[in-house]
Amino acid sequence: MTQRYLVTGGAGYVGSVVAAHLLERGHRVTVLDDLSTGFAEAVPEGAEFVEGRIQDAARWLDGSYDGVLHFAAFSQVGESVVRPEKYWENNVGGTMALLAAMRAAGVRKLVFSSTAATYGEPEAVPIPETAPTTPTSPYGASKLAVDHMIGGECAAHGLAAVSLRYFNVAGAYGALGERHEPESHLIPLVLQVALGRREAISVYGEDYPTPDGTCVRDYIHVADLAEAHLLALDAMTGGAATGAPATETSAAGAAVPAGEHLICNLGNGNGFSVREVVETVRKVTGHPVPEITAPRRAGDPAVLVASADAARERLGWTPSRPDLADVVADAWAFARRTATRDEEGRA
C-alpha cells in the first residue's frame, strides 16, 4: 500500500539513499532539507523537495503523512566540541520542534537516525543496545538526548518509533554517495588519495591491541542501512499493541496507549582495521595509497563493532553486502563520477 513519508535531511548522504528506496517501493516522499550540508541534486527524482529547517516543520507537516524518517542532524564530532551550541540547537531543539509538529498533525510513526556515538568508549565489544551510554562528544550527547526525548514522546503521546544506531556507514547507491565538507570518514579520505586529491592517508596509531596495531571499525553499506529503515517502518508498534499502560487521556476522555520506542544497532558485526581498509582501496582502485603514521587521536577506542542481534530479531534485517571490497567498489565508482563532474564543471 502506498504511504506518504516526510524525510528530513533527505538531501544528505543517508537520507537521500533512504528516500530513493522509499520511492522504489512505490511510496510518496517529501524531502525537507535546508541544504546546509546536503545537496539539492541528491534529492531523488520523484520526491517533492521543500527547502527549510526542521524547526519549521509544522508549516508543511499535516495529517496526510503516514510517518517521518528523521536524518536532519549535524554530525561532525570535532565541530561539536568547539561549537556545542550548534548541535544542541539543531539536533535537540530541531527534533523537539519536529515532534511537536508530528503530535499536532497526528503523525504517529518515526524512524530516527541515531548513532553509535551514544555509547562513547565501550566496555566490551560487540556492543549491544544494553551497553552503557556515555557519549564523549556533544554530538553523541545530542543524539542520546533525542533518543530520550523520543522515548518520552512514545510513552506520553502514543508515538511508535525506532531509533537506529549506525556504526560506520560507507559505499554508494548509484548516483547517491558520500560527500562531506570537511570530509572526516576513512573510506572517502583514502579514495581521495587514490584520486590524487590528497597526497597520503594518515594512520593515527599503530600500537593498538589489534591484529595489525590499527583501529578496527564496523562498516555497513549505505544500501543495507536504507533497507533497515524500511523494515523499521513495518516493524514498529504503537498503542495497545505494546501492552504498555495508558499515559494520557484525550479530550474525548479516551485513553491514549503508549507507543513502543525500539532501539537497534546497525552494523555488520565484523570489524576491519584501518590498514585493511587502505589495502582494500589499493586492490579495488589499482592505485597506490601512501600512508603517514601519526600519533593516536585522543578518545579513539581500539575496536568498535556492533552487535546487530536486535535488528535481526525485531526487524528481520541482515546486511546483504557485508564484503568490504563491495563497499569500497561502490564508493569508488561514486568518487570517480563526482570527480569527473567537478572537472567538467571547471572546464
How many residues does the structure list for the chain? 347
Q: Which of 5, 65, 87, 139 is catalytic?
A: 139
* 304: enclosing H helix or E strand: strand 303-304
Letter string b/e over residues 335-346, b meaning 16 or more CB atoms within 10 A of that residue's CB: beebeeeeeeee
What grid cell was written down for 201?
592517508
Q: All 3 cell numbers of residue 241?
A: 499493541
Cα-based distances in Å from 151 to 73, 98, 145, 162, 257: 18, 14, 10, 10, 14
Contacts 24+ apart (CB under 8 A), 247-255: 247/155, 247/156, 248/156, 248/157, 248/158
CB atoms closer than 10 angstroms to residue 126 = 20
**Cα four-point dihedral sign 167, 172, 173, 179:** positive
DSSP H helical segments within the chain, as ranges? Answer: 13-24, 77-82, 84-87, 95-105, 138-157, 186-194, 222-235, 274-285, 309-310, 324-346
Among residues 67, 28, 70, which one has the least CA distance to residue 49? 28
Backbone angles phi, psi at 175, to 5 degrees: -85, 5
Q: What is the dihedral of CA 159, 234, 319, 124, to 10 degrees?
A: 30
Whether residue 87 lies in the annotated active site: no
Residues 6 or more apart in contact with residue 279 via CB below 8 angstroms = none
Which residues are marked as active site? Answer: 139
